[in-house]
Amino acid sequence: MNRAIGVIDSGVGGLTVAHEIMRQLPNEKIIYVGDTLRCPYGPRPACEVKQFTFEMIDFLLKQQIKMIVVACNTATAYALDDLQKKLDIPVIGVIQPGARAAIKTTKNRKIGVIGTDGTIKSKAYPSALQLINRNLQVYSLACPLFVPMVERGVTSGEEALAVVEQSLQPLKKEYEIDTLVLGCTHYPLLENTIQKVMGPDVKIISSSEETARETSTILEVHQLLYTKHREPEHEFYMTGDIEMFKRIYQTIFKEDINSIEKVVMKKINL
Ligand code: DGL
């Protein structure tokens, strides 16, 4: 089907998921919304995250999309259930796919999860993981400094290493995890630094691959796949600064962005 897949995040993080969807489903068009003006979502109360998420979805629904990927863990933790109940198109988040990928990987059943304050407080990861396997030990840690740093374009180098090293100390010292879930879509941009700090024995999991796989399965099941060959023109909409977004896009995609526009989200009543 000709319509696009809508992808949302509080900022640039969802690009890590969009990138993987484009790789696995090259004929599908993506319309991406990043709420860079109001990022980070992590420290915000649940009601605010829900409000902002629904505003982005409202914007996307006006563009006739066929499916939504909530490429933000914080928004997934707080708004996915409501979205799935309210919308009549398929909506998926990133937490279940991330949990599934971690379960496939762990050998000693000790899994670490890092995320924003909101995601960690919601306990969405331990719930998703232990629903599948009650015998898992899950250690969660909020890393509130990561998202603002990535949104400033700092993804490697000395500053990134110092912040990551300091933030991950509690997780590194106390538990013998063999798997670490990047429970925030911004964190894959710091993956090399995180791997360096955690050491080679810890497998790093980002939910993007598994989320893209789930996107593909859902489109197929609902007979919504675009089955002809094409080079779709993806669209990107930001509520805040677009210059930084362009730079981070370049880092991930190794090319310049074609279509990007600044937009204002319309307030809606939930
Ligand atoms: N990428 C978002 C997530 O996965 C970042 C949240 C934030 O804005 O703090 O949770």
Rounded to whole angstroms, the Cα distance separating 65 from 80 reads 17
Residues in the chain predicted with pLDDT less than 70, given as ranges, are none
40 cis-preceded (ω within 30 degrees of 0): yes
Residue of 53, 95, 114, 186 to test ligand 1 pocket, by largest number of atoms within 8 Å of CB: 186
Question: What global pTM score does this model have?
Answer: 0.95
**Helices (H), strands (E): how many in the chain?**
11, 10
- Give the burial string for 84-94 (b: 16+ CB within 10 Å, else e): eeeeebbbbbb
- What is the pLDDT at residue 269? 84
- What is the pLDDT at residue 242? 92
- What is the pLDDT at residue 118? 96
Radius of gyration of the chain (CA): 18
- What is the pLDDT at residue 173? 79
Q: Which residues line ligand 1 (CB under 6 A)?
A: 9-11, 13, 39-42, 72-74, 116, 119, 147, 184-186
Give the H or E element holding residue 262. strand 260-262
pLDDT tens-digit series, residues 156-189: 999 999 999 999 999 987 789 999 999 999 999 9
